[in-house]
Structure 1
Amino acid sequence: MKKRHAALAALALVGILSGCGHTKTQPETQAADNTVSISPVEKTTTEKQSGAVIEYLFSGNNTEANGIIFNTYTYNGKTWENTDKPIGVYGMGLNNGTGTIILRHDADKISAAYDIEMTFPSGGASLRCGDPSGVSKRPSDSVTVTVAGQERSIDDLAVGVEIPLVVRVFDYKDGETDEGIHTVDINAFTDPDSSEALKNCSFAEAITVKFIHDDSVS
């Protein structure tokens, strides 16, 4: 079997761009209270372009949210199934600055699980290791991978609403060319029927985030 390391699609992550020149600045729309702003960070390295690192910035808009939950899904050929192994972090303030969410895996191992690194606006940090029982047990020979993250900033993500942070699609089929490999889009999570990449893939996973309010956490 011919070994083909990943034909990795560049992530469509859009950075935060600053304006220049003398163009008049338009007034910004104020995000609604009790929401969260989350923005993809621009790719600057080959490691990020390969999908090994995906980074977001987030902050609260006078939100009551005090927790973050990450869920992992796998695609069964028809729908996304929750692996029921959520990662939760609670008790952090979100309104006093900017935090980060970084999904990272070993760039030399295509079939490595994502670890999740976080820093919080209120201070502190957290690291949650990825679950090795899914993608990590799959071979790395003769594999092609396509990866997508959120393309645009979301300024008013409501508390309790789940969105995908990354979709990753693997194809382990034999063959000498990459003919038939399709680029995946982040919308493959919300509308899998529209994704050509999912239709004939061997394995696919998605990681989502949801900001929540938990009364039991002070």
Structure 2
Amino acid sequence: MKKCVLARLAAAGIVLICTGQSPQFASAADDRPLIWSPSKTGANAYKLRLGVRRTGRWNTSAGAEVAMGATRTGKISPPGAPVRLWGMASRESGRGAVRRSSQVSVDYNALRGTGNFGAGTARSWIVTPTLDAEVHRSIALQCNAYESRCSEPKLTQSAKLLSPVSRTSLTVQSQASSSGLSGVSRIGVEQNFGNLRLGAAVADPLLEPRSVFDISYSMRW
């Protein structure tokens, strides 16, 4: 009974934090050393991401992420990752028409003992006055501390042609693992309308082609 009451109090605290933050504070906090980013992830689910950041040649940040959810009747739903530890380091370089960026990220779920490691690089440049190009390369690895094993690393590479005027882009993606190169894994088109993004793609076009449609909306508050 006592644990149930504490869980409900914790959920209520996260709800108050997520709903009580003003837009002015949220926008101002982007440049502060303290990271305080609450968000609503479902009808009755909330997440609080907190930590610290340091700017320099490499921009680094680290902290914890707390999640809590409940059913419509108010019963607490145990999340798969109630607390996650995370860290990230990124760097940008280049001026004018050519820009480069690098990023390394880690996160750890103490409940399940699983950790994720990711690293990636990106390069963008101006092809013509009306066309930009981007190339992204990344590697992802997942390990389990309790089972003392790691999955095979997955390499992903994507190339994108983007029209800044119409905000339309064409993307080609490929993947590779220890079993070899899988070839082209996805070909798609994306269109942005302000904060709304629409996408249509063909996944695994060489072996088992299937259609994929995406729609997303982002909002900063």
TM-score bracket for this pair, using the shorter chain length: under 0.3
The TM-score, its normalising length taken from structure 1, stands at 0.28
The TM-score, its normalising length taken from structure 2, stands at 0.28
- Structure (1 or 2) with the greater helix fraction: 2
Q: Flag the structure with larger Rg.
A: 2
- Structure (1 or 2) with the greater strand fraction: 2
